[in-house]
Structure formats: structure tokens, C-alpha cells
Structure 1
Amino acid sequence: MIKRSPFEYHYQFQFLNGQIKDYHITLDPDTLSMVPIASATGKTTEWVRLHFKQCRHCPLQDEGHANCPIAVNLMELVEAFKDLFSYHDCMVVCHTAERTYSKQTSIMEGLSAIFGIIMATSDCPVMEFLKPMARFHLPFATIEETTVRTASMYLLAQYFKSRNQSEMRCDFKALEEHYSRVQVVNEGLLERIHGVTREDADINAIVTLHSLSQFLSMEIDYSLSGLAYIFAGRYMD
């Protein structure tokens, strides 16, 4: 069996006043789950409790789940940015083992990138299907890039499933249902942190992700027609 190293992402926010905020994310190479942050272990902030404004239709029950797994992993980040406005500019740098990404952008866009990977890898059953995308995390992705990655990952997953299920039909109905549930999680998280933050950086980062999930649901519903131009006359036999 191949021994894989953990997947690591180091985000750094560089502000105009010289202030720097660092945030490290580590994924278990086998489960693709986020490795808990040591500084968050043992904390019992009220808004991370499972039953604090719990998402509609949350599949988690009391047994072994005192806290919302996403909220626990977001806790440190929400606290660090709760006093910042989403529209403020900064340089956001993301270091991975393979390459470094950087962009002069708003705090909101930088936070959306981090929130996306944390939400996908925090062992929330609703978000579990997004772990393969988190493994190939692309910071600052455009809507079109995200649509291509989402559809491609989904179809690749269907391919692996179909190898053992010869009668399996491949369509996007299940993916559309997944994103409908993701929108419920986004709404639940917004309810959780609304009273925690004093400014809007954290909230608008999740609003951005929520808008993206709504767009993806709409695009899937229209059979990905927005991507058809890429393949016009270029289909591979």
C-alpha cells in the first residue's frame, strides 16, 4: 500500500498595514478529512454546539456529535476575522506542496476559498461528496472553473462506480440533489455565525459560497449548457 503524505494548504493574508494572518489546513491522505486544529481542541464556544441553530434535516444525532463538525473547524477562522470588513483589500497567498497561488483581492474572496475547503473536509455527511474536489483545491476559482471541476469530478466518480455496476445510468440528478442539501448547510452556518461576527467578512464569505452553490444547481438543471461551447466540434471519439 502506498504511504501518502498529508495534503497541506497554507493560507496567508497580507494586509496593507503590514499585518499578516496565517492559516494552515492539513488533510488526512486516506480519509481526506481535515486534521483538527490543536488550538481548537477542547473549546466549547456556544455557537458550535450541534443543536445551536442546527441545519434543517441535519443527519447527525446526539450520539458522539456534541458539536457541529464544520463549525468546530471554522471557529478559529471566524474569530480571527470577525472584526474585519469583507471588501477590504489584501494579498492572499496559498502555498501547497506543488505550487503557490497569490491574488490581490478582497478579504471575502480569500475567506471563501478557505471556508470552501474546510466545509468540504469537516466530516459533515452532506458535504462528504466534495472531498475529492478539496483534494485538488483551486484557490480563487471562477464560476466556470468550479462548474467544470464539479461536473468532471462527479463524472469521474460515476465512472469508478459503473465499473462494478454495469447497468448504472449516468446523469446529474444525484449531483443536483447534493447541491440542494449543500445550500441548506450554507444557510445553517450563516445562522450560526450571524451573532458572532461584528463585521461582515466571515458572513459574506459564506454568502459567496452559497451563491455559487445556487448557480451550480441552476447550471446542472440546464444540463451544463453554459459549458457546451468549450466542446463544440471538439468531441473525442
Structure 2
Amino acid sequence: MDSVRITYNINLPKKIEQFDFNLDAESFALQNPAPENPPEWTALDYKKCSHCPLTSDKHPHCPVAIRLHDLVERFHDTSSIDEVEMEIITEERKVIQKTDMQRAAASMLELILPASGCPKTDHMRPLARFHLPLASEEENIFRVTGMYLLGQYFRSTSAQGGRIEFQGLIDLYAELAIMNKAIASRLKGATRSDSVKNAITLLDMYSTLVPLLLEDQLAEMRGFFKAFLPEERANTAPVATSNYLKTIKNAVFELVPLEEDSDSEATTEKKAPPPPTSAVETILKGSKLELELMPVDDEKQEKAAEDKPVRGRATFNLPDD
């Protein structure tokens, strides 16, 4: 078998977009042909990652950007909050799931980025080989730690040697965070749609969450491995100290309508109480993301009672650097 095919069918309101990803059976690198006459934003030196080891004389285009071109072009008319039905077909299974456009795009990026040929994502290529669409945070922690430890095992059988610790994994995600921000900066002028942009933001949030969540998530998973630790006393087992993941999931963001000033036409913003969690601040501070609240523009919002809060959506914007 020379190649492996993974197909994504995205059922949009007016059409179905089909993406066939052809990957080398041995290296699992993407084999799809590069687009002809790619746009300027795909050039390697256009908003290049600060830690990129490639040079434009050998690599005129960014490996990640050139692979994102097809998604960007075909998702121009989509919004990140559009509900879509996605179908993923692999040799082993078929997955059908309804989700929003940004999560569908993020799932595709989790396959594209590791297989793109970018030297900063190559370590994640085993995750592409065992691609799990729309994986939960807990599933991703289990997969990525297992992948990393298996990599350390292979290193231990070579002259390089391996270590059973996760600082190297944290360092890998720190480099991915730099890449995510640079790619997001490229995309600002590439498309009017926010679908792929927000998908990158979701991945960047995860890159930021891994160092914060890793210790606590592993402490929670330790109970699954009791058969390996029969003599361990309950009071000696590590305990999760701050479950950022559960807290951020429970955080609720709302938009409150502006109240009119009785003395003038000017309006003042009614301040909503801050989210009841420090996890939001921790995540934003760690990732340098900006939190922006944007109203959802649909008929339901227009019919909302004037004295009730208008629900909106939280958008995390990446800085230029």
C-alpha cells in the first residue's frame, strides 16, 4: 500500500465540500499536489514564524500555509458558528457528527498540520496517523502523552536515549503556540470568513492548555491505572489541584444590552459580572489571547426581550505577533 486516504465531507447549506487527504503509507506525509500559483500569504517569508528553520531559497512557500490554501478558498462563505454535518471516512471507520464550522475545520487541521511537512509539527505526525476526529480534551491528553512516551521509548532503544518526563512535550506545545499565532496572522488578510481563523484559535488555546492541564489531568487519569499500582496507598497518590478544563467549560459569557441615558442619546455599557473563575484569566495570560464578546446576529436575538440579557459568543483573538 503506497498511500492512505482520509476523506472529509462537510455538508454545507447549499453544497457538500469533499476533501480527500492522500498520505504516504510509511511517513504519513501529505501527498496532495500543491496549488498552482498560490497567493502571497502562503510565501515562506510572509509573516514567517520567528522560530522557523526553513529558508525561502529551498522552500519558497510555508508548508502549513500551502496546505491550508484549499480550506481557505472553499470556506470563504462560511461562518465559524454555522452548524454543519461532517462525515469522516478512513480505512477503519466512518464518523458522522453534527458540529459547528470552526470545530469541523479544527478537526481537519489536526490532520493537516502534522502531515504538512512543517518541521515544527513533525513530532505530532503519529497523531495524524491515528487521527481521531472531534476528540475530547481528555482523549487528546491521553493520546498525546501516550504518543510522546512511545517516542521516548524509541529514543531509549537508540543512541539518543529517552526520558520518562513531559517537559519535552510542554516544549513542543510552546513551539506550536508560536506557529499558531503566525499562521493566524497570515490568515487575517487571506479570507473574510472566520471559520479557519477560529479553528487556529481553538488549536492555540489547546496548545496553551496542555502545560496548564497536564499535571492535573494525569492525576485524574491515575485511577484508571490502579492495576499497575496495586501497592500504592491512597494518600500518596497525586491529587489534581486545579481543574482548569472543567472550570473553563463551566464558564458562561453573556452580553448585556446597552442602556439608554435618560438625559441624552448616548449609551453606557452595563457591565456584566466577571466570569466566576480564574481559569479564564490564567489561559488568556498564558496564551496572550484576547477575549472578545460578539453578539450572534440572528432572528432569535432580535426577538429577545429588552429587559433580558442577550446571549452572545466568546471569540478569542490572536495578537499579530
Structure-1-length-normalised TM-score: 0.90
Cα deviation, residue 68, structure 1: 0.2
The answer for the alignment partner of 1:220 in structure 2 is: 214
The answer for the alignment partner of 1:151 in structure 2 is: 145
Please, which moves more after superposition, 6-15 or 179-188?
A: 6-15
Decide whether the 8 Å contact of 2:141 with 2:217 is kept in 1.
no
Q: Whole-Å Cα distance in 2 between the matches of residues 90 and 166 of structure 1?
A: 46
Larger helix fraction of residues? 1
Assess, with a 3 A threshold, how the Cα gap between structure 1 residues 230 and 21 changes in structure 2: closer, same or farther.
same
The answer for the alignment partner of 2:193 in structure 1 is: 199
2:5 alignment partner, one of 5, 8, 20: 8
Cα deviation, residue 236, structure 1: 6.1
The answer for the alignment partner of 1:22 in structure 2 is: 18
Decide whether the 8 Å contact of 1:7 with 1:135 is kept in 2.
no
Please, which moves more after superposition, 144-153 or 191-200?
A: 191-200
2:127 alignment partner, one of 125, 133, 145: 133
The answer for the alignment partner of 1:230 in structure 2 is: 224
The answer for the alignment partner of 1:120 in structure 2 is: 114
Query: RMSD across aligned C-alpha pairs, in angstroms?
Result: 1.9
Decide whether the 8 Å contact of 2:9 with 2:16 is kept in 1.
yes
Cα deviation, residue 44, structure 1: 2.8
Q: Whole-Å Cα distance in 2 between the matches of residues 57 and 167 of structure 1?
A: 25
Number of residue pairs aligned between Structure 1 and Structure 2? 230
Cα deviation, residue 223, structure 1: 7.7
Any idea what SS the aligned residue of 1:97 has?
coil
Cα deviation, residue 224, structure 1: 3.0
- Which structure's CA Rg is the greater one? 2
The answer for the alignment partner of 2:39 in structure 1 is: 45
Q: Whole-Å Cα distance in 2 between the matches of residues 141 and 230 of structure 1?
A: 19
Q: Whole-Å Cα distance in 1 between the matches of residues 53 and 14 of structure 2?
A: 43
The answer for the alignment partner of 2:257 in structure 1 is: none
Assess, with a 3 A threshold, how the Cα gap between structure 1 residues 81 and 154 changes in structure 2: closer, same or farther.
same
Identity in percent: 30
Decide whether the 8 Å contact of 2:7 with 2:20 is kept in 1.
yes
Q: Partner amino acid for 1:29? A: A
Please, which moves more after superposition, 208-217 or 90-99?
A: 208-217
Q: Whole-Å Cα distance in 2 between the matches of residues 97 and 32 of structure 1?
A: 14
Any idea what SS the aligned residue of 1:47 has?
helix
- Of the two structures, which has the highest relative contact order with CA contacts closer than 8 Å and spacing of 6 or more? 1
1:161 alignment partner, one of 132, 155, 158: 155
Q: Whole-Å Cα distance in 1 between the matches of residues 89 and 190 of structure 2?
A: 29
- 1:119-168 Cα deviation digits (max 9, x unpaired): 11111111000011100000010111011000001111111221235964
Decide whether the 8 Å contact of 1:26 with 1:35 is kept in 2.
yes
Decide whether the 8 Å contact of 2:152 with 2:161 is kept in 1.
no
Cα deviation, residue 116, structure 1: 1.4
Decide whether the 8 Å contact of 2:154 with 2:162 is kept in 1.
no
Cα deviation, residue 13, structure 1: 0.8
Cα deviation, residue 226, structure 1: 4.1
Decide whether the 8 Å contact of 1:82 with 1:196 is kept in 2.
no
User: Which runs of no fewer than 5 residues in structure 1 stay unpaired?
Assistant: none
The answer for the alignment partner of 2:62 in structure 1 is: 68
